[in-house]
Amino acid sequence: MSVDDSANRDFYGQALKLQDIVAHPARDLRVPAVASTWTDRLRELGRSPAASDRDMPRAGDDSESRAIARESSRGADAPSGTYAPPLGFNGKLVSVRELAEHAKSHRGEEVMVAASIESLYSRSVFVLDDDPLLRTNQQVVVVAPNLLGPLTDNMEVAVVGDVISFRREDVEKRFPGYRLDVPDDVAKSLENMPAILATSIRTRAGQELVDYRGSH
């Protein structure tokens, strides 16, 4: 179909030679209809990015984005975060969530978990939580009778030790001479939760908080 066909001239425009345009500059040359479509499209593409951004979803506007951001900042692909395993560590690096959801598969294993302290029940018993800002059901008990220094709520630590199901008799059997220093009702509420018998607890600064000689 030629662009000079009368049926299409109004839409596509008329083919002209350059010498005709120069020789007859005042000639009535109508803008083809298709040109309006092109110019409208160019105006849309030229809109301010700020205006078009208002229609775009922003990272962090939904709970999934926030969860992804939290996991990324805490090293979701490397549960130990920025902590390096202690010398001689041959166990597994796991997250609180992994340990809480699959405790049976890790029972008896040596693991390393990096997380924040959710609740301090005594000088030697505390709980690690999967999220430092929100209370979740993803929790792991830590028992550390041989602490060298005090701990605080929301403190971020890396814990190394063997995994068991929390029971008073099993904990006390593992640490000769130690008596679980929490009330009976607390011990009952923690019963059967995944627990780590800590042989190492370190801060982000690398400070060791467990007397290794007394943890075996």
pLDDT tens digits, 185-197: 999 999 999 999 9
Calculate the alpha carbon distances from 8 to 34, 40, 153 in Å. Answer: 11, 21, 78
User: Which band of pLDDT confidence, cut at 50, 70 and 90, is reported for residue 51?
Assistant: very low
The 3-state DSSP composition of the chain as helix, strand, coil percent (nearest 5) reads 30, 20, 45
Mean pLDDT score, 73-100 = 73
Number of H helices, E strands in the chain: 9, 6
Distance CA 209, CA 186 (A): 24
Mean pLDDT of 141-166: 94
DSSP secondary structure letter of residue 62:
S
What letter would DSSP give residue 109? -
Which one of 1.20.210.10, 3.40.50.2000, 1.10.150.120, 2.40.50.140 gives the CATH number of domain 79-214?
A: 2.40.50.140
Query: Which stretches within the chain are classed as H helix?
Result: 6-12, 18-23, 33-45, 49-53, 63-73, 96-101, 103-106, 168-174, 184-190
Residue 130 pLDDT: 76
Min mean pLDDT across 38-42, 99-103, 134-138, 155-159 is at 38-42
**Alpha carbons 215 and 174: distance in angstroms, whole number:** 9
Would you say 212 and 200 are in contact if contact means Cβ atoms under 8 Å apart?
yes
Place of tokens 């969530």: 97
What are the φ and ψ backbone dihedral angles of 212, each rounded to 5 degrees? -60, -35
Over residues 110-132, the pLDDT tens digits come to 999 999 999 999 999 999 987 66
Which amino acid type is present at position 85?
Answer: P
To the nearest 10°, report the CA torsion of 51, 57, 58, 60: 160
**17 three-class SS:** coil
pTM greater than the 0.75 cutoff: no
